[in-house]
Amino acid sequence: MKDAREWKVYVAAPRKRARERCWRLRVKRRDPSGKWVDAYQEATETEDRSLAEELARLHEAALNSGGRGASGAPTLPVLMEARIADMERDPSKSPESVVAFRYARDKLATILGDVPAAALNRATLLRAQDKLRSEIGNETVNTYLRRAAACWRWCEARGLIDKPWPRITPLKKPPAKKRPYKPSEVEDVLRWARSYEGGRWLGLLMLIAETGRRVSEVCRLKGRHVDRAALTVRVRQKGNRWLVLPVTSETMALLPERGPDEWVFRRKKQARSGGGWGPARRDSVLSVVRRAIRELKIPDGERLDVHSFRRSFCADSHRAGNPDDVTRRLTGHERPEMLAHYMREAVGDDLRTAQRRVLDYRASARAQAVEAASPKPPPTKGGQGQEEGPTKDRSPSVAGASAYARRDSNPKPLPPEGSALSN
């Protein structure tokens, strides 16, 4: 079978005459005549041959995957692909992280795919940042460039690139901060989803709103993660941690029944990517939610997104009286500061209730002050010179003084002289 590779990478031993201690990578490229010619060499900065062979395998896969510059030197997408390939082999990295890095790689490949990594400088990166800003939001641009920098530093530590990442100032975040949904808005969105596309998205949105999970965690549920008898779902959180959550019978009935290895919420993959079925994409869910916000004409809708369901769950759980540590067990937050961050932007019915409590308290305090300032009627006397009404609320000193006053005002007659009591 004919070798279709364009690049080959070999591991070369350290040169004793140059007093080298680390292994090197020899990169060869096929010329138009079909012969292999030396392209360049790179240091691995490792004395472990097994690690050097692994770096050679990753480097060769990245070179043959495309994204080469005109000079034949590796580009930023190639370096990112090398890091992504290593992440796929790392059991501590979640599939969601790999997918997120691939999104960043594909987007940056459209702008920096022909720029050699050696020629990537601060000015080039700033122009790419400006172009991305015209297409996507500032926070997404910062996220993509941050992931690219992480891949670059990983490659730099392993000798795949010999220059540091160009440092640029991140874009400023938009002034509008995201907020949670009001309880009534959650019900409106779910009611709208019942009739949109035949209720296709209702189960997914109800599961997000009911459990407060991240949309990526719900999209990657498989049939084996759903226990219909126990009414629970098993989700994988950040850091490859698993969490079992209860689900109501109404929501469980809306979840499609799938095989153990099938995606619960799936989408049809394109033929160019292999066909078959894949998990629902986060941007598809976001598009559905944005459409619901527009059609429902929710005020301040630009501050709402899919993640606002998670913010709403945290805020509503706190106002429902659940302890914060229990809420964090449901949401998977490790730090209590995140709960405070989500509740800081809460608006709507919960704030109106809090305001009403303040007004009721002020009215009660005002009534007590008026009652205390009003003159009290003098106490009325009953039969035998005693006050009417109970005296159990008096203090001991006041009660004792009243007893002495009654005794002095009604003296008993003295015994006759010569009796036993007079002695």
- Give Cβ neighbours of residue 357 (< 8 Å, ≥ 6 apart): none
- The pLDDT assigned to 174 comes to 66
Q: How far apart are CA 59 and CA 81, in angstroms?
A: 9
DSSP 260-305: TTSBSSEEEPPGGGT-SEEEPPHHHHHHHHHHHHHHHT-TTGGG--
- The pLDDT assigned to 347 comes to 60
Q: What is the pLDDT of residues 149-182, one digit of tens each?
A: 999 999 888 877 888 999 899 998 766 678 889 8
Question: What domains lie within the chain, and their CATH numbers?
Answer: 1-45 (no CATH), 65-175 (1.10.150.130), 183-350 (1.10.443.10)
Helix 336-344 to helix 308-319 angle (10° resolution) is: 100
Cα-based distances in Å from 409 to 363, 378, 405, 422: 45, 19, 6, 22
What's the average model confidence in pLDDT over 301-308? Answer: 88
What's the average model confidence in pLDDT over 406-419? Answer: 48
What is the pTM for the complete model shown? 0.51
- Give Cβ neighbours of residue 413 (< 8 Å, ≥ 6 apart): none
**Based on the number of CB atoms within 10 Å of its own CB, is 363 exposed (0-12), middle (13-18) or buried (19 or more)?**
exposed
Q: What is the pLDDT of residues 199-234, one digit of tens each?
A: 999 999 999 999 999 999 999 999 999 999 999 999
Judged against a pLDDT cut of 50, whether residue 397 lies above it is answered with no
Residue type, 279: P
Q: What is the pLDDT of residues 92-145, one digit of tens each?
A: 888 878 888 988 988 898 888 878 888 889 999 999 999 988 888 888 899 999
H or E element: which one contains 99? helix 95-112
40, two tokens: 């360049």
What's the average model confidence in pLDDT over 323-351? Answer: 76
Is the C-alpha dihedral spanning 81, 86, 89, 90 positive or negative?
A: negative
DSSP 170-231: PPPPPSPPP-PPPHHHHHHHHHHHHHGGGGTTHHHHHHHHHH---HHHHHT-BGGGEETTTT
